[in-house]
Amino acid sequence: MASPNAETVVSTTPSLTSSIIDAAGENEKLQTKESRWHKPRFLEKISGRMLFCAVVASIGSFNNGFNTSVFNIPEGVIRFCNGVVPPDHKHGALPDCIPMNNFQWGMAVAMFAIGGLVGGLIGGPGITRLGRRGAMLWNNLFLIIGGLLVATTTSVGQTIVGRFIVGIGCGGACVITPTYLNEIATKEARGTLGSMNQLFIVLGILVTESMGLGLLEPPLWRILAGFPAIISVLHMGACLMIEETPHYLALQGRPEEAEKSLRRLRAGRDITEELNEVLHSQDSDDTDLGDELPSDDSIDRTSRASSPLQGDDDATKKSKHGSDPEEKTTTDDITVARHQGTPRESDHGSEHKESAYPNADIGSPTDQMNTASGHGAHGSQSRARFRNQGTQAINVYQLLRNRGGPHNLYKPLLIATIFTGVQQLSGINGVMFYSTSIFQRLYANSATPMHITVGTGGLNLVMTLATLAVVDRWGRKGLTLVSAAGMTIASCVIVGGSIGNVDVLVIACVFFFIAFFAVGLGVTPWLVMTESFPTYARSAASSWCMVINWFCNFIVGLIFPSLQSGLGDFTFVPFAVVTGLFTLFVLFFVPETKGKTPEDIIGATNQREFREDGARLANVFRRNPFRRRPEPITPTTPLPEEIAA
């Protein structure tokens, strides 16, 4: 006679078998869906779900590029109605154009950059409080309101205010999109996915310039100005269909949700190792903001005092803690739990990595994290402390003072700041803002400058697409060196062609200038900005870097017309100096970030190494190659080996 337990086993076995078969079938469907089309080689490690989320996130970058050049081609229509109709002519309640002098037009262009600066400043706190996806969703409100104000403008003031609000949305997108792309990407595809930010920016530039050619009639430019508002409405709906990033969820102390998000992004692939890295990275990211990490010796003493695995009896543990260890979990216990399995330097300086999850073969990855976070009764309290501390992230002020976290972020922040600043000081947006007026000096009273401007946008898009395919193979440093050196040479040749009145050479070198920008400086600053910082500092670092980026954007947009009128043929000399010096900086001071964790990058770029690199570079320029080197001084004091002999 069969027992009830046997009947239960028999009855549950078919359902268990069917669930396993269903899970296997679901996994097979996912793999079949992934293999229906042959991906390019550089997309092989990107799942369909990950690519969809990246494309949706990059719509904000598309709006950024669109609004950057929206006033480029239709400038004459907006300011002068192209001489077709009187400036005060109206279609209904809206005038056909908004007459502006040079200063007013410059303000309308520059206020976009000022808005971007403000957007970059508030974007960091936004992605910390609202989440990456939530900030992306609500950031569209700025683009909708600003776009409608510009599209329905009746005065110079309304145009300037609308451009300022649009700039806030674009500045916020510059913080949100790179951070989101970095946090959903695999380590192998981080460069490719991160480059999609720049790809959609240049796509937006190309679309707005192409549309501008067909909307040159006086009332039609308003369609061009209002188009980003329509895109933003669609973007808000699409944001509801993408995942929150696993890194943000882990930082918030929600490991189960982080696991679900990562599982969907990887489309059925094994995520155990990657999830362990995501959750493990938060162990150091969650450190109290004002505290320094304890030394290795203090960790050893605490672990000997608190760990039940050391063989101490209850009385010994009670005397060392001052109370019963079952009754109280100290801060040291939490510190030890966090550092279980983290890399530590031995006396000889070598690193020994242990698994942060000792029970890796038991349960889900989140269960492994819970097991590793504490022992016995300590474990639940440690997990509670982990959840409470997961919301802590440093702000820009703490980042600039290099406080609030366990890492020394001085040099990574300096490198990221220089990268994002030089991206604008290279002169690229001077070309993008005023490319039509640059070419009009060569082809007056002709539509040729507008068509050449569209051609520059197409070249920028093609070269950025090519960069996506190689950025994870060639690395960030190599591409940046090629880019900066190429832009320096192109700027010098533009100056020479302008002096010699060789128009074809000038146009060709403007194209080369844009192409070299696209393969390096157009992409790598976004990657360096997000790859160099741990999760707790990433939003603050992105916010600070975007403030610098938009401030430099404002400066270039404001002074470029004055440079053209004041320097004439030598307009590109300052840009050649900037990119030339930047080439040397990258060559001597910047490490490669491809495939490295933030901890690896920070370890390779500590403050002491930076000073030593600077001293070495200074010695290179101070050294006299014709001076004889002094002979080595023979020590007069006998060595210990000689004394022993």
At 569 the pLDDT is 82
Strands (E), 32-124: 90-91, 94-95
Mean pLDDT calculated for residue range 248-272: 85
pLDDT(477) > 60: yes
Q: Which of 92-106, 212-226, 471-485, 552-566 has the highest mean pLDDT?
A: 471-485
Q: Which amino acid is at 205?
A: I
pLDDT digits (tens, 9 = 90+) for 367-377: 444 444 443 33
3 φ/ψ sector (left φ>0, alpha ψ -120 to 50, else beta): beta
Mean pLDDT calculated for residue range 473-495: 91
pLDDT(535) > 60: yes
pLDDT(394) > 70: yes
At 460 the pLDDT is 86
Helix or strand or coil: residue 352? strand
521 pLDDT band, cuts 50/70/90, is very high
582 pLDDT band, cuts 50/70/90, is very high
pLDDT(396) > 60: yes
At 140 the pLDDT is 96
* Phi, psi values for residue 99, rounded to 5°: -60, 130
pLDDT(471) > 70: yes
13 pLDDT band, cuts 50/70/90, is very low
Mean pLDDT calculated for residue range 315-328: 41
At 476 the pLDDT is 87
Q: How many Cα neighbours within 13 Å face the side chain of 259?
A: 15
pLDDT(445) > 70: no
Alpha carbon dihedral 172, 175, 180, 183, in 10-degree steps, equals -160
Q: Would you state the structure tokens that stand for residue 183, as one six-digit string?
A: 């946090």
Work out the burial of residue 319: count CB atoms within 10 Å of its CB; fewer than 13 is exposed, 13-18 middle, 19 or more buried: exposed
Higher pLDDT, 515 or 92: 515
Mean pLDDT calculated for residue range 168-178: 93
Q: Which of 38-42, 237-241, 387-391, 641-645 has the weakest average pLDDT?
A: 387-391
pLDDT(301) > 80: no
What is the C-alpha separation between 306 and 308, in angstroms, rounded? 6
Q: Residue 165: count other Cβ atoms within 10 Å of its Cβ.
A: 24
Mean pLDDT calculated for residue range 431-448: 65
At 267 the pLDDT is 80
What counts of helices (H) and strands (E) characterise the chain? 29, 4
C-alpha closest to that of 488 among 427, 411, 576 = 576
83 φ/ψ sector (left φ>0, alpha ψ -120 to 50, else beta): left
At 83 the pLDDT is 54
pLDDT(321) > 50: no
Q: Would you state the structure tokens that stand for residue 454, as one six-digit string?
A: 């569209």
Mean pLDDT calculated for residue range 69-75: 79
Are 557 and 430 in contact by the 8 Å Cβ rule? The answer is: yes
Are 426 and 519 in contact by the 8 Å Cβ rule? The answer is: no
Angle at 437 between CA 509 and CA 75, to 5 degrees: 140
Higher pLDDT, 394 or 332: 394
Could you give the percent of the chain with pLDDT greater than 90? 22
What is the C-alpha separation between 209 and 459, in angstroms, rounded? 13
What is the C-alpha separation between 438 and 450, in angstroms, rounded? 10
At 334 the pLDDT is 39
Which domains are delineated in the chain?
49-246+396-604 (1.20.1250.20), 253-346+360-389 (no CATH)
Could you give the percent of the chain with pLDDT greater than 70? 65
Q: Which of 189-203, 232-246, 559-573 has the weakest average pLDDT?
A: 559-573
At 237 the pLDDT is 94
Which element (helix H / strand E) includes 436? helix 428-440
C-alpha closest to that of 370 among 246, 245, 285, 259 = 259
- Measured distance between the N- and C-terminal CA atoms of the chain, rounded to whole angstroms: 91
Higher pLDDT, 513 or 345: 513
At 34 the pLDDT is 46
Provide the H-helix boundaries in 267-312.
Answer: 272-285, 296-306
Higher pLDDT, 80 or 608: 80
Q: Would you state the structure tokens that stand for residue 284, as one six-digit string?
A: 């150091």
pLDDT(468) > 90: no
Q: Residue 485: count other Cβ atoms within 10 Å of its Cβ.
A: 19
Q: Which of 75-84, 218-227, 602-611 has the weakest average pLDDT?
A: 602-611
Q: Would you state the structure tokens that stand for residue 294, as one six-digit string?
A: 């304890």
Mean pLDDT calculated for residue range 80-97: 64
Mean pLDDT calculated for residue range 16-43: 52
Q: What is the 3-state secondary structure (H, E, C) of 386-404?
A: HHHHCCCCCCHHHHHCCCC
Mention every residue, 6+ apart, whose C-beta is less than 8 A from residue 535.
Answer: 183, 247, 248, 250, 251, 281, 282, 285, 393
Which element (helix H / strand E) includes 233? helix 221-239
pLDDT digits (tens, 9 = 90+) for 284-294: 444 333 333 34
Are 341 and 356 in contact by the 8 Å Cβ rule? The answer is: yes
Higher pLDDT, 434 or 237: 237
Higher pLDDT, 456 or 523: 523
Return mean pLDDT, the chain. Answer: 73
Higher pLDDT, 603 or 514: 514
What is the C-alpha separation between 63 and 53, in angstroms, rounded? 17
344 DSSP assignment = E
